[in-house]
């Protein structure tokens, strides 16, 4: 694992950088992803390698600091890189952490622009982030984010988009919150990289499917 002092500084950086974000992408999200990532790493047999755990923990902690949805200043994109340099993180470890953070996003992978290369530490961090986007927590986060952007819950006239470019995915002004389940959340189960991630995703995915069905039934007055 990373030194406790470096982890403490990373946690402080998370709290500072993400202060003011809505609750769908706040520090609590990061703590959950970190805990999930370390748990998946253990299940995937990475616990015996301290370098692997350092990569996993720091990448999980720092993964959302320069999230494009909350970027207030282009200089924020350098915050993570600068932090790792200041902490004297070994070059090979730093390189892997940055590859994970830059390559783990849904928007690139779903549109075929993502990296086809991934390694065990990448898989557990990405899977952990995606697990937090589905299931009960994922539902809560989805509606929290939609509310923060003043999106309508559902409009039968606005259908989920099926053929998305990266640019189209990033522009969601006219989209509804429920459509996000079809455009992203219900796809994540089949995009998990690790066996441990796939196992955990099954239950969360099923819960979401049941929720979406109940949502439409209630909307249409048949439940």
**115/19: higher pLDDT:** 19
Cα–Cα distance, 101 to 195 (Å, whole number):
21
Q: State the pLDDT at residue 67.
A: 81
Which CA distances in Å does 25 have to 104, 129, 182? 16, 11, 20
Residue-level pLDDT at 113: 55
The model's pLDDT over 26-60, given as tens digits with 9 standing for 90+, comes to 999 999 999 999 999 999 999 999 999 999 999 99
Mean pLDDT confidence for 188-201: 97
Mean pLDDT of the chain: 91
According to the model, what pLDDT value does residue 196 have? 98
* More confident of the two residues 5 and 223: 5
The confidence band for 167, taking pLDDT boundaries of 50, 70 and 90, is low
Which is more confident, 179 or 73?
Answer: 179
Domains of the chain: 4-219 (1.10.3210.50)
What DSSP string runs through 51-95? HHHHHHHHHHHHTTTT-TTT---GGGGGHHHHHHHHTT--HHHHH
């Amino acid at each position: 694992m990373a030194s406790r002092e470096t982890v403490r500084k990373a946690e402080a950086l998370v709290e500072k950088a993400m202060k003011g974000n809505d609750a769908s992408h706040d520090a609590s999200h990061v703590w959950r992803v970190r805990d999930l990532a370390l748990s998946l790493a253990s299940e995937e047999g990475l616990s015996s390698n301290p370098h692997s755990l350092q990569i996993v923990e720091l990448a999980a902690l720092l993964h959302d600091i320069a999230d494009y949805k909350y970027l207030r200043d282009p200089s924020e994109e350098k915050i993570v890189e600068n932090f790792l340099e200041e902490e004297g993180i070994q070059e090979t470890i730093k390189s892997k952490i940055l590859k994970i953070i830059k390559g783990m996003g849904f928007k690139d992978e779903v549109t075929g622009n993502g990296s086809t290369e991934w390694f065990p530490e990448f898989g557990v961090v990405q899977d952990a982030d995606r697990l937090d986007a589905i299931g009960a927590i994922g539902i809560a986060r989805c509606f929290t984010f939609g509310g923060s952007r003043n999106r309508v819950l559902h409009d039968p006239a606005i259908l989920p988009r099926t053929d998305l470019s990266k640019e189209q995915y990033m522009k969601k002004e006219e989209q509804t919150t429920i459509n996000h389940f079809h455009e992203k959340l219900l796809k994540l189960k089949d995009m998990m990289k690790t066996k441990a991630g796939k196992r955990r995703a099954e239950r969360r995915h099923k819960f979401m499917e049941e929720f979406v069905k109940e949502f439409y039934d209630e909307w249409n007055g048949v439940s």
